[in-house]
Amino acid sequence: MARAESETLTLDGHEVSISNPGKIFFADAGISKLELVQYYLAVADGALLGVRDRPMALKRFVNGAEGEAFFQKRAPKSVPEFIRTVELSFPSGRTADEVVVDNAAALAWVVNLGCIDLNPHPLRSGDLDHPDELRVDLDPGPGVSWDDVRSVSVVVNEVLSELGYVAWPKTSGSRGIHVYVRLEPRWPFADVRRAALALAREVERRAPSLATSKWWKEERHGVFLDYNQNAKDRTVASVYSVRPRPAATVSAPLAWDEVPDAELDDFTLRTVPERYARLGDLGAGIDRRAFSLEPLLELVKRHEAEGLGDAPWPPHYAKQAGEPPRVQPSKRRMPTDAPVTDPAAPRGRAGSVTPALPSAPARNADGTVPPTGRRRSSQPLLVISQAADKSDALAGLDRWRARHPEAASSVRDPEDVLVDAMRGRFTVWWRVRVNLRNVPPDRRPGAEPPDPDYDPWSE
């Protein structure tokens, strides 16, 4: 389609201008901005069910799915009459007027801004302190199969059903599955998050080889149940959201009997409208009944009686009562009677495990660690690269491998390579770390400045 200056749609009696309608948003699939808008209009009732009356963070891909996204929490200064805003407060203490999408015109308007997926908060505009959704985010680690994700989702449903809940699954549109439960809006975020943690631990107990509730990536295996997605100010791509992936995959609602055979690539921008027209909205019943959080809070009490307290919160949240030390296991101070990884390394010297960051400046010239310097690591992690773009971060990993071929040959990929998407002030940036646990101690290279060494806070 040739790029036109704009195209005007009339929706619900409102005119919505689509700028650059022919602009390609998905290069591999040849999908334009207008086709993205038309998709959302084709599934509008279902998409609106996931976002209506909910404040929304705008995740904008102004240059399409292959471009960098930025988060816009504050609504533009001037919004059309069919757009509503609600003032939301954040854990930082700041506030912002966020967009609320209530109708098809508003849906088309946010997509025109470059919002490929929709990211609403789990609450309604009339009560901003009590969420009405429990969101179970199944996040597979590197190399974890889709079969494992589906298997873990079945265990999630088993646990929730035993507790009396009706759970609603959907593909994440990326590599995972989301499971939602509609809640009575009576409990604060902290309680809902703690309930999600208890659920994650119970699923992990039943499927220990497949599921994990561990917050730190270096401790995880299999499918991570991200309980912190239920903390205040966290958002998840809503139902029918298109995801910024080459095939324009969709976060599609499923029936539980579809889960064992569902394939991620079956649900795309070009296939879901036909499915929607044929089957209707499989998630339409989620609002029929809202549930009490009490059964999950009883599970929390049982866990506490067994000695299982809180787990780490995300780094930008205030320290919480009862929260364990918010320090990666590889950076925790080892007890004085703990064995040294390399028995030949003198106590109090850097060398038993190579530090990640900071490197040499945190040590004395002779290698000793000053009293306020680097903590002794329990795992030999190196920070390899920090970059605004994932491909640049991975290119830094390739350069590190070329510089240290002996060490690289012993690094197991993917389990020893940690590729982290980090949330910066406005955009996502990328960090690559390598765990040298499988590298013989005499072949472990020392810490180097990250290459590239992107500073997300300098922008």
Q: Is 92 exposed, middle or buried (0-12, 13-18, 19+ CB in 10 A)?
A: exposed
Mean pLDDT for the chain overall: 88
Band the pLDDT of 414: cuts 50, 70, 90.
confident
Is pLDDT larger for residue 271 or for residue 339?
A: 271
* 8 Å CB contact between 90 and 57: no
Nearest Cα to 329, choosing from 216, 206, 428, 171?
A: 216
pLDDT at position 368 over 80: no
The predicted-structure confidence for 186-224, as pLDDT tens digits, reads as follows 999 999 999 999 999 999 999 999 999 999 988 999 999
Residue for token pair 């960090």 = 431
Query: What pLDDT is recorded for position 334?
Result: 54
Q: By CB neighbour count within 10 A (0-12 exposed, 13-18 middle, 19+ buried), where does 151 fall? A: middle
- The alpha carbon torsion through 361, 366, 369, 370 (nearest 10 deg) reads -80
β-pair partners for 388? none
Rounded CA gap, 227 and 232, in Å?
12
pLDDT digits (tens, 9 = 90+) for 162-181: 999 999 999 999 999 999 99
Summarize pLDDT for 55-114 with one digit per residue, the tens: 999 999 999 999 989 989 899 988 999 999 999 987 777 889 999 999 999 999 999 999
Distance, CA of 413 to CA of 167 (rounded, Å)? 35
Q: What is the pTM for the complete model shown?
A: 0.75
- Of 234, 250, 256, give the one whose Cα is nearest residue 134: 234
* pLDDT of res. 335: 54
Six-digit token string for 213? 């509730």
Euclidean distance between CA atoms 298 and 88, whole angstroms: 30
Q: Report the relative pairing of strands 381-387 and 211-212 from DSSP bridges.
A: unpaired
**Own/partner long-range contacts of 71-76 (Cβ < 8 Å, ≥24 apart):** 71/426, 71/427, 72/426, 73/98, 74/98, 75/99, 76/113
Among 223-232, 281-290, 373-382, the range scoring the smallest mean pLDDT is 373-382
Provide the pLDDT confidence category of residue 426 given band limits of 50, 70 and 90: low
pLDDT at 294: 98
**Confidence class for position 405, pLDDT limits 50, 70, 90:** confident
Q: Output the pLDDT for position 388.
A: 87
